[in-house]
Amino acid sequence: MLIASKGKDQIVNTDAMCSIFVGNDNKVVAIAQNNKSIVVDTYGTRVAALTAVEMLAERIRVAAGNAAICSMPTEQEVKAYQNRFHQEKSRSMDGSKQKGHGGS
Residue 90: per-residue pLDDT: 55
Which uninterrupted H or E stretch holds 49?
A: helix 46-63
Residue 68: per-residue pLDDT: 76
34 vs 1, which has greater pLDDT?
34
Query: pLDDT for 56-66, tens place per residue?
Result: 988 888 887 77
73: exposed, middle or buried (C-beta count within 10 Å: 0-12, 13-18, 19+)?
Answer: buried
Query: pLDDT for 62-100, tens place per residue?
Result: 887 776 788 888 899 999 988 887 655 555 556 666 666
User: How is the chain split into domains, by residue range?
Assistant: 2-85
Residue 104: per-residue pLDDT: 53
